[in-house]
Structure 1
Amino acid sequence: MMLRTILLAGLLLCCLHNNAQSTSDIIFVFNTKKTHQTIDNFAASDAWSCQFVGSWPAAKKNEIADWLFSMDTAANGTPKGIGLSMWRNNLGAGTAQQGNESGIRDEWRRAVSFLEANGTYNFNNAAGQQWFLTAAKQRGVAKFLAFVNSPNVQFTKNKKAYAEKGISNLDSTQYQNFAKDICQSLEGLRKKTGITFDYISPVNEPQWDWSDGGQEGTPYSNKEVSALTKVLGNTLTAQKLSTKILLAEAGMITYLFADNDKPGRGNQVHDFMEASSPLYVGNLTSVAPVLCAHSYFTTSPFAKSIELRKQLAAKIDSINGLSYWQSEYCILGDNHGEINGNKRDTGMTAALYLARVIHTDLAVANAAAWQWWLAISPYDYKDGLIYIDKNKADGNYCDSKMLWVFGNYSRFVRPGMKRIELASSITDSSLLASAYIDQKQKTIVAVIINSSKEKRNINIQGLSTNKKKAQMETYTTDATRKLTKQTTTGAVTIDPQSVTTLVIHL
């Protein structure tokens, strides 16, 4: 490819890789003429801590909200927050009202519903979650998603929010009541907060049994998901709600394109989105042209994670107009010895692993959205962007490098930007990069992950046609920095074990 055809007048990044024994050039070639998915959002979930943190002292919860949602900057240009572009709100099944009778052992995993036991609705419930909804809106978050782990306990077979014997806890005779409850909750929240929810996700990881009382949840077969979706779609239409149904929050990405170990719960792209399927719902106006899955159990080993994401991308691409969203992830399990989900890690080890997962989901699976699980966690686990004391009224809190590394993407790769082709002369997975373009703003964003212990110096050439060097900023997260800004028109250094966002103004 001739340099003059690359990035307007030609864009070439020459990366000088220094080490003790040799010096070699690493070339990144950006091709703005080859575009991939359009980015829709980066998000995280309010489950389950926001129900409590939303009533913490104002100064503390406001700083937490700033970290998550703010696009403001400090005087030195350093970002105040990671600028999430969507917020996921949990519509609870009423286990908080049930208390110990719910069978959910951990009180912090119980969730409140607006529907009370006497059949009335109380939209003063979930006040803490509503505080975060409002805080997100005030800080510029434009999109909102409501998700349901279990139908309200009033509608389930066992009057609990977890299932028995690995079968759905919702009888088909209750689909309409479940759908009406969702619509009532969405409309009540709109009146209370002014927020119209863009999406409703009515099922969560339907492949799992959800029978241990660890949290709210219920399994579904694809046949049941399809039937429920049709009822909910008709109800949304009848209620004149614009909210779109988002399917299907698969427990692993493989369930979108294969049956694996869950016959009747896999092959969800075919079952829901191919017109030849008897379970087809892709033609419903209330169903978003999106399928969602979670990246759990498929991120290691690295070569396998790439292979699976290529298969997923090919399957999604086989359906005209269909997009893929990675809708939930935290570091779970032992990941073939690469990293273990147990124990908090607020440093760069977990953050670099997270960055690698985001990269592969965006650059290989073509995810148009990437969403984290617990925005705020009280647990000794690698599941939080922000960590808190397990205290309902007040407590200590701290950020993590996972928060800021997520921000290397969420703050700079904005909705509407397109991923562009980025070819590299290095195939070593210790240096990963993806690039995105904002055509209106004439800006290119590259996110570069250097997980090695060596520095990479990048020389920028040929950025403009008027012989002036393009203005660039870097925002680096590493052991000592959190999206720290530097401005340059020359060489850029990618430090060891860091994630750097390079913003190029053309």
Structure 2
Amino acid sequence: MRFKPYLALIIIGLLVIACQNESGDKDGEDETSSTPISLIVLPSQTFQTIQNFGASDAWSTQFVGKFWPDEAKNQMAKWLFSTENDTDGNPMGIGLSCWRFNIGGGSAEQGNDSQIGDEWRRAETFLNEDGSYDWTKQEGQQWFLKTAKANGINQFIGFVNSPPVSLTKNGKAWSDNGSSANLDASNYPAYADFLVNVIGNVETQTGVSFNFISPFNEPQWDWKCCGQEGSPWNNSELFAMTEKLDSAFQKNNISAKIELTEAGQIDYLYSFSNLPNRGNQIKNFFDPNGSFYVGDLPSVAYKVAGHSYYSTWDTDWLIESRTLLNQKMKEVSSDLPYWMTEYTILENNDEIKGNGRDLGMNAALYMARVIHADLTVANAEAWQWWLAISPYDYKDGLIYTDYSKFGGNYTDSKMLWALGHYSRFIRPGYQRVQVRRSDNKTDIKGLLFSGYVSPNFDELIVVLTNQTTREHSIEWSGLSENYKSVEVYLTNGSEDNNLTFQGVFELDSLITLPRKSMVTCVIKN
């Protein structure tokens, strides 16, 4: 249904009134709610092509997928994967386009002997101690793999925290000393064979073909006893293991590509920081003159992967670190892509604390600002959250469950729907385009905006994040007359507004952004 401009203003005005139950002071911007902000959208000025938005299956899906009632796990899967709308036009899920599968190291089979106290952070392995395989393992995770594929996801990443414990130096899924890989060089070929077998047999079991394999998750950290599975890797070890893995992939006609570098912080990508043996990874691995150049290996994905942890506060560092990252990427190659492959709110700073669940807008807006910076400053082609489902009292989940293996309560969060403002509408192949205010103002703590165009230019997506405590109105400028209408979707502090469809409006309608909200506008021909 299409509304006239005056009716659009009435409807959105009522929406603003409904949001006044949230407290807050006015921000310092000089605009009033009656002064529209003019956004100039230039679809012809394009930047990176978006590949996907995703999340990982660690750790909860091993229990949720295996033991929880069908009704519960199907609803969780719908929230994560669905691109369908209900009868009122509201998205039923956030339409993730990528799913990360944790290839376990075997601490689960060790039980308490693993010394990892939290069984939710232990993971099964397909590899038995005698060298045989059991492809029924990781059953709950395989359920989510199959369900993701059934919902249209076609990008899958298999990532490894620790090699199988039967191969590691200490027989554990963590490191004794944190100084080197918990895998002796004599077992590099065995680790490569393991991953080759996992790729082929997971496809047989689930129908899912991994696009990428990430063998070295956050190699900068020491991963000592005993919080979870993990292994450190020095750059020289990464290089040697990657060569072995590339050879095994080529020999076995594996189409999956090796994903590097999965740095635990983005500054390790462009500087040595405090770890000379594990830093400066862009130059080391992707510069032809680098010490450990792998860019010419046929099974290595030509991209750089990094995690946004500890780079989001303060906001000056949020921008500076991503600017430096982008500069280093361009120095090495103008066409080397960057993927942000893991983030959750770990920081404890003046604005937010990692501890304690926050199902509301504070955490969602913090998350949205990080996504915005990664896409618009670092030019990330992909953005992937950490825990799709979390049982913890922490700001780490899109969906939260009771700490119960066999069923219980579960709930969505505003962080789920915040990610959905991007993932549901910006599909693989869309390009980021130029969007700016007519007055050229920018404020990383205020109103954020970014635009994306479909491959055939018939659809423009503009994601708007209002972090301020006052409402703002938006008008469009610079668009050709080919664009006729705007679909509007809203998430704010109201329980009723989770990526909620607001209607279809004429292009000359003002779009009002309630305080502390996210609005996605789908502009169509």
- Aligned counterpart in structure 1 of residue 43 of structure 2, from 7, 32, 35: 32
Report if the CA contact (8 A) 2:41-2:477 is conserved. no
Check if 1:51 corresponds to 2:73.
no
Matching residue's letter, 1:436 = Y
- In 1, the alpha carbon distance for the partners of 2:339 and 2:359 equals 26
Question: CA offset at residue 493 of structure 1?
Answer: 1.0
Question: CA offset at residue 85 of structure 1?
Answer: 0.2
Name stretches of at least 5 consecutive residues in structure 2 with no aligned partner. 1-27
Moved more, 93-102 or 469-478: 469-478
Check if 1:277 corresponds to 2:294.
no
Check if 1:99 corresponds to 2:115.
no
- In 1, the alpha carbon distance for the partners of 2:253 and 2:458 equals 39
Question: CA offset at residue 291 of structure 1?
Answer: 0.8
Cα offsets for 1:89-118 (capped at 9, x unmatched): 000001111111111111000000111122
Instruction: After TM superposition, list the pairs within 5 Å mapping 1:64-463 onto structure 2.
Output: 64-167=76-179, 168-318=181-331, 319-334=333-348, 336-424=349-437, 425=439, 426-429=441-444, 430-440=446-456, 442-460=458-476, 463=479
Residue in 2 that maps onto 1:494: 513
Matching residue's letter, 1:90 = N
- In 1, the alpha carbon distance for the partners of 2:31 and 2:291 equals 62
Question: CA offset at residue 391 of structure 1?
Answer: 0.9
- In 2, the alpha carbon distance for the partners of 1:135 and 1:291 equals 28
Matching residue's letter, 2:268 = Y
The SS at the match of 1:405 is: helix
Cα offsets for 1:170-202 (capped at 9, x unmatched): 111111001100111111101111111000000
Aligned-residue sequence identity (percent) comes to 47
Matching residue's letter, 1:308 = S
- In 2, the alpha carbon distance for the partners of 1:439 and 1:18 equals 36
Question: CA offset at residue 337 of structure 1?
Answer: 1.2
Question: CA offset at residue 35 of structure 1?
Answer: 1.2
Report if the CA contact (8 A) 1:19-1:454 is conserved. no
Q: CA RMSD in A?
A: 1.6
Matching residue's letter, 1:496 = R
The SS at the match of 2:190 is: helix
- In 1, the alpha carbon distance for the partners of 2:463 and 2:33 equals 26
The SS at the match of 2:301 is: strand
The SS at the match of 1:311 is: helix
Normalising to structure 2: TM-score of the pair?
0.90
- In 1, the alpha carbon distance for the partners of 2:486 and 2:38 equals 18
Question: CA offset at residue 462 of structure 1?
Answer: 6.3
Pick 1 or 2: higher relative contact order, CA cutoff 8 A, min separation 6.
2
Cα offsets for 1:140-182 (capped at 9, x unmatched): 1111110000100011100000001112211111110011001
Matching residue's letter, 1:288 = A
Q: 1:101 to 1:364 in 2, by over 3 A?
A: same
The SS at the match of 1:119 is: coil
Residue in 1 that maps onto 2:18: none
Instruction: After TM superposition, list the pairs within 5 Å mapping 1:470-485 onto structure 2.
Output: 470-480=484-494, 481-485=497-501
The SS at the match of 2:475 is: strand
- In 1, the alpha carbon distance for the partners of 2:131 and 2:194 equals 10
Matching residue's letter, 1:363 = T
- In 2, the alpha carbon distance for the partners of 1:94 and 1:21 equals 58
Cα offsets for 1:405-462 (capped at 9, x unmatched): 0000011111101101112233233101111111315111011000111111123356
Matching residue's letter, 1:492 = I
The SS at the match of 2:395 is: coil
Residue in 2 that maps onto 1:3: none
The SS at the match of 1:289 is: coil
Report if the CA contact (8 A) 1:52-1:128 is conserved. yes
Residue in 1 that maps onto 2:16: none
Cα offsets for 1:361-406 (capped at 9, x unmatched): 0000000000000000000000000000111111110000000000
Q: 1:120 to 1:484 in 2, by over 3 A?
A: same
- In 1, the alpha carbon distance for the partners of 2:156 and 2:424 equals 17
Report if the CA contact (8 A) 1:271-1:280 is conserved. yes
- In 1, the alpha carbon distance for the partners of 2:30 and 2:516 equals 15
- In 2, the alpha carbon distance for the partners of 1:367 and 1:251 equals 16
Report if the CA contact (8 A) 2:33-2:473 is conserved. no
Name stretches of at least 5 consecutive residues in structure 1 with no aligned partner. 1-16
Moved more, 424-433 or 359-368: 424-433
